[in-house]
């Protein structure tokens, strides 16, 4: 147990130990499963490309660029993480090429994170703190949002949590270090930012553990290092390929591709001294916002605005505990959490145009800070009996925030996110698949990845017919493939062709002979 451990009281009761955690986990699972697949409405362009890569691998054994089982997708030109697509393969095999199938890995990892976080906090702090942290994660707007759609980088927090959890367990039983290495290794395939976060965190933690006298069996340590190295090796080769050190590697069972272009300008050491970078970090960490609709709902933030004072209090408690253990050269979990958070801060500062997704290595640390702050408040109120009203009032405030968030998320928010995620495109493409139009002109508001996914364009057709307008580039502009042409000249509409356009453009097809079918925010128009 850590410094914040508390004994006695409600936490000693059996019903709290068993029933309350189960109830909180059930609440977290239910709110993540409710209307799953249809909320968020529509399908984001990134998850659509991840879905097409999944379908292509499942159907043809190659990705959209023809690489067998790549360690990193070329996709847009500058690449895409592969873990989401690989985990989704069995679900697409069972359920078909659907949004729900592609989103299921996110749901399962998010739901598994609930009991893992509870046990982590129970081991590090106390049962009471574990209940607080579990309840906070169960109703967290950030965690609920990321669990419900298939952005590949949304898997990163779960695997970082799993890696840290088994690292803490490994301090008691070295065999868990093997699981920690596996989880951290897989996290590298969830988000490229982890290529910096993970080694920086593990190296710093390793130095600290050695300094405070922690020792491990050589077999466990070498095994963990070996697992991490084996998992990281394809990505090490990938970096060497794209730096021009070695040529690309293509085998039937693994490919290390060369990208059309690198996004190497997105990270810079100069950002560490940039006031703008620090401002972006403060907005994400403290104000809990980035202006992106898929990362936030209204003013609810990541963990609700009322968490800020507890976040600061908890950080102060962890710093105090860490300083005490460092002076005594003894182990404390506080140091490990602060190392994780510190490495996340450094890497987040390096990233240009920081947002909530790019800073996702930080958010679980923030949750632990809030948990420690809330736990400290409860302990203070327990000792000062006149303040016994504060914990239930705080719990009621969080409950009201959660109910308000859920009420908005499942109603008005879906209308807004449906616009951002091009709701209706899937149904429109399903309709077009049944028609025999020679050409289909697609409005510029629709991403070609969405057409690929919904049309299930055969790999060979795509590779043999795709035309790029800006090759090579980090984000390739596709002018067309197969019968699809991207971009519409509304002043020169053709007969015998179909047009996929937003409903706002419907007036262009109101003349004699035009037929239309509307699908949510989009319509298909044609004239024969």
Q: For residue range 436-486, what is the model confidence (pLDDT) as tens digits?
A: 898 999 999 999 999 999 999 999 999 999 999 999 898 999 999 999 999
Among the three residues 415, 450, 483, which one is the final residue of a domain in this structure?
415
Q: For residue range 49-89, what is the model confidence (pLDDT) as tens digits?
A: 999 999 999 999 999 999 999 999 999 999 999 999 999 99
List C-alpha distances in Å: 386 to 27, 53, 382, 484: 31, 60, 9, 70
pLDDT at 10 over 60: no
- Alpha-carbon distance of 359 to 156, in angstroms, equals 10
- Alpha-carbon distance of 46 to 23, in angstroms, equals 34
CA dihedral 372, 370, 360, 121 (to 10 degrees): 30
Q: Work out the average pLDDT over 285-300.
A: 91
* Same domain (yes/no): 392, 522: no
Tally of structural domains, the chain: 2
Residue-wise DSSP of 239-299: HHHHTTSS--EE-SS-EEPPPSS--GGGB-GGGGG-HHHHHHHHHHHTS---S-GGG--TT
The answer, as to whether pTM is greater than 0.85, is: yes
Residue 155 in contact with residue 83, Cβ under 8 Å? yes
Confidence bin at 512 (pLDDT 50/70/90): confident
In this structure, of 148-162, 206-220, 480-494, the range with the lowest mean pLDDT score is 206-220
3 located within any domain:
no
Say what the pLDDT of residue 268 is.
80
User: Does a cis peptide bond (omega within 30 degrees of 0) precede residue 56?
Assistant: no
Q: Work out the average pLDDT over 118-144.
A: 96
- Alpha-carbon distance of 40 to 46, in angstroms, equals 14
List C-alpha distances in Å: 35 to 3, 18, 73, 169, 410: 41, 28, 30, 36, 8
- Alpha-carbon distance of 63 to 52, in angstroms, equals 8
Residues 6+ apart with CB under 8 A from 492: none
H or E element: which one contains 519? strand 515-519
Say what the pLDDT of residue 16 is.
64
Which segments of 409-502 are extended strands (E)?
Answer: 440-442, 467-468, 478-481, 484-486, 498-502
Range of the domain at 308: 9-256+266-415
Q: Work out the average pLDDT over 420-426.
A: 95
pLDDT at 46 over 90: yes
List C-alpha distances in Å: 40 to 18, 355, 414: 33, 20, 6
* Same domain (yes/no): 451, 332: no
285 located within any domain:
yes
- 10 Å CB burial of residue 207 (0-12, 13-18, 19+) is exposed
* Same domain (yes/no): 157, 210: yes
* Same domain (yes/no): 371, 498: no
- Alpha-carbon distance of 124 to 3, in angstroms, equals 9
Among the three residues 362, 394, 415, which one is the final residue of a domain in this structure?
415
Angle, CA 400 vertex, CA 399 and CA 403 arms, to 5°: 85
pLDDT at 510 over 60: yes
Q: For 235-261, give one letter per residue: b (16+ CB within 10 A) or e.
A: bebbeebbeeeeeebeeeeebbbbbbb
* Same domain (yes/no): 219, 321: yes
Among the three residues 389, 415, 441, which one is the final residue of a domain in this structure?
415
pLDDT at 313 over 60: yes
* Same domain (yes/no): 475, 452: yes
186 located within any domain:
yes
Mean pLDDT of the chain: 92
* Same domain (yes/no): 408, 433: no
* Same domain (yes/no): 118, 173: yes
40 located within any domain:
yes
Confidence bin at 17 (pLDDT 50/70/90): confident
3-state secondary structure 185-231: HHHCCCCCCHHHHHHHHHHHHHHHHHHCCCCCCHHHHHHHHHHHHHH
- Alpha-carbon distance of 108 to 104, in angstroms, equals 6
1 located within any domain:
no
- Alpha-carbon distance of 375 to 131, in angstroms, equals 10
* Same domain (yes/no): 159, 218: yes
pLDDT at 15 over 70: no
- Alpha-carbon distance of 37 to 58, in angstroms, equals 21
261 located within any domain:
no
Neighbours of 395 (CB within 10 A): 14
* Same domain (yes/no): 392, 433: no
Q: Work out the average pLDDT over 246-267.
A: 90
Confidence bin at 8 (pLDDT 50/70/90): very low
* Same domain (yes/no): 511, 404: no
* Same domain (yes/no): 409, 429: no
Residue-wise DSSP of 387-436: GTTHHHHHHHHHHHHHHHHHHHHTTHHHHHHHHHTTTTHHHHHHHHHTS-
Displacement of CA 525 from its chain's centroid (Å): 36
H or E element: which one contains 525? strand 522-526
Q: For residue range 155-189, what is the model confidence (pLDDT) as tens digits?
A: 999 999 999 999 999 998 999 999 999 999 999 99
């Amino acid at each position: 147990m850590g410094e914040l451990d508390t004994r006695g009281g409600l936490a000693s009761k059996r019903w709290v130990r068993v029933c309350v955690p189960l109830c909180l986990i059930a609440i977290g699972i239910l709110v993540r499963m409710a209307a799953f697949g249809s909320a968020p409405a529509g399908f984001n362009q990134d998850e659509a490309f991840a879905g097409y890569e999944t379908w292509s691998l499942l159907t043809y054994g190659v990705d959209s660029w023809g690489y067998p089982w790549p360690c990193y997708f070329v996709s847009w030109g500058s690449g895409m993480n592969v873990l989401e697509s690989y985990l989704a393969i069995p679900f697409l095999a069972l359920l078909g090429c659907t949004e729900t199938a592609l989103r299921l890995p996110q749901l399962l990892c998010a739901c598994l994170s609930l009991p893992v976080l509870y046990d982590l906090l129970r081991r590090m702090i106390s049962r009471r703190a574990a209940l607080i942290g579990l309840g906070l994660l169960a109703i967290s707007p950030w965690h609920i949002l990321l669990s419900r759609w298939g952005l590949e980088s949304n898997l990163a927090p779960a695997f970082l949590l799993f890696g840290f959890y088994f690292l803490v367990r490994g301090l008691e039983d070295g065999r868990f270090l093997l699981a920690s290495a596996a989880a951290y290794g897989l996290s590298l395939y969830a988000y490229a930012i982890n290529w910096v976060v993970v080694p920086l965190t593990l190296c710093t933690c390793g130095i600290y553990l050695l300094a405070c006298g922690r020792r491990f069996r050589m077999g466990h340590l070498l095994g963990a290092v070996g697992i991490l190295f084996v998992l990281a090796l394809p990505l090490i080769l990938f970096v060497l390929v794209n730096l021009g050190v070695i040529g690309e590697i293509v085998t039937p069972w693994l490919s290390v591709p060369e990208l059309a272009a690198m996004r190497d300008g997105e990270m810079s050491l100069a950002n560490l001294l940039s006031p703008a970078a620090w401002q972006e970090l403060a907005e994400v960490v403290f104000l809990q916002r980035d202006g992106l609709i898929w990362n936030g709902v209204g003013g609810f933030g990541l963990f609700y605005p009322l968490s800020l004072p507890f976040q600061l209090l908890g950080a102060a408690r962890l710093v105090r505990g860490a300083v005490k253990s460092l002076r005594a050269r003894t182990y404390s979990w506080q140091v490990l959490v602060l190392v994780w958070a510190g490495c996340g801060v450094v890497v987040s500062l390096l990233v240009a145009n920081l947002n909530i997704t790019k800073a996702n290595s930080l958010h679980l640390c923030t949750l632990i800070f809030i948990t420690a702050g809330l736990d400290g408040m409860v302990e203070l109120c327990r000792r000062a009996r006149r303040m016994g009203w504060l914990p239930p009032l705080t719990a009621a405030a969080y409950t009201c925030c959660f109910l308000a968030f859920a009420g908005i998320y499942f109603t008005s928010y879906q209308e807004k996110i449906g616009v951002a995620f091009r709701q209706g495109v899937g149904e429109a493409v399903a309709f077009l698949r049944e028609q025999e139009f020679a050409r289909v002109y697609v409005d510029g508001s629709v991403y070609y990845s969405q057409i690929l996914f919904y049309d299930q364009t055969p790999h060979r057709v795509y590779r043999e017919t795709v035309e790029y307008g800006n090759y090579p580039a980090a984000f390739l502009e596709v002018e067309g493939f197969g019968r699809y042409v991207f971009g519409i000249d509304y002043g020169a509409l053709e007969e015998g062709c179909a047009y996929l356009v937003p409903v706002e453009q419907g007036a262009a097809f109101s003349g004699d002979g035009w037929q239309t079918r509307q699908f949510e925010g989009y319509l298909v128009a044609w004239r024969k």
